[in-house]
Chain A
């Protein structure tokens, strides 16, 4: 049972345009959400996060939106740059016992075309 879903395995966008990556979750116990970016042959790196008490968080070109009623979050990248081409993972965090556990989606390969 996939609790965090990224239904688009790939996305291509023209340089300078907006990239929108989507993520859906099913477990209402998740209270913190993150996006990670991964280049080939490297581990994922943290990009941006949002607490469940907020609906938007912005950091430079990156904005994450959270719609709790729809159990949906999205990452907007504006403007998109060729260096943004990578796999983007959505992740959700919840308390499991005394520890927090991260559940990842399957990733979306973003390609920004020059």
Chain B
């Protein structure tokens, strides 16, 4: 079974630009969560999508948005990039049944650098 894939793996942008990151979950998984990892901050939860609907959201500004397609693939968009958005963006998939804990499987991440 293929794991979680994320594209691109590395990205360099300049301030003010926008960026779209992509995540393909494990086959059969319906939940996709996005996290931002910065040094000293651990993994900060951005949002979770389940069956094309945002089910949960962290404390990030509206510049961060996402969506999920009918095949469970998900995209994350960051508009008007700021230097502080430089981070590793991780995507995790899980079966997603409501109420039960489902182990999350992580992709390798996209390293975004904002200059």
Contact of B102 among A44, A45, A96, A100 (CB under 8 A): A100
The answer to whether the Cβ of B66 comes within 8 Å of any Cβ in the partner chain is no
**For the complex, what is the distance from the CA of A101 to the CA of B94, rounded to whole Å?**
12
The answer to whether the Cβ of B26 comes within 8 Å of any Cβ in the partner chain is no
A17 CB, min distance to chain B CBs, angstroms: 26
Chain B residues, Cβ within 8 Å of A34 = 103
A22 CB, min distance to chain B CBs, angstroms: 14
What count of chain A residues pass the 8 Å CB interface test? 29
**For the complex, what is the distance from the CA of A32 to the CA of B99, rounded to whole Å?**
12
Q: Is the CB of B55 within 8 A of A98?
A: yes
Chain B residues, Cβ within 8 Å of A102 = 33, 45, 104
**For the complex, what is the distance from the CA of A103 to the CA of B43, rounded to whole Å?**
8
**For the complex, what is the distance from the CA of A46 to the CA of B105, rounded to whole Å?**
7
The answer to whether the Cβ of A60 comes within 8 Å of any Cβ in the partner chain is no
Contact of B56 among A4, A44, A89, A97 (CB under 8 A): A97
Give chain A's interface secondary structure class.
strand
A90 CB, min distance to chain B CBs, angstroms: 9
Chain B residues, Cβ within 8 Å of A44 = 43, 90, 106
Q: Is the CB of B33 within 8 A of A45?
A: no
Chain A residues, Cβ within 8 Å of B103 = 34, 46, 49
A residues with CB within 8 A of B: 4, 6, 9, 32, 34, 36, 41-46, 49, 89, 91, 93, 95-107
B residues with CB within 8 A of A: 4, 31, 33, 35, 40-45, 48, 50, 55-56, 90, 92, 98-109
21 examples of A-B residue contacts, CB within 8 angstroms? A4-B42, A32-B101, A34-B103, A42-B108, A43-B106, A43-B109, A44-B90, A45-B106, A46-B104, A89-B42, A98-B98, A98-B99, A99-B50, A100-B99, A100-B101, A101-B45, A102-B104, A103-B45, A104-B42, A104-B43, A104-B45
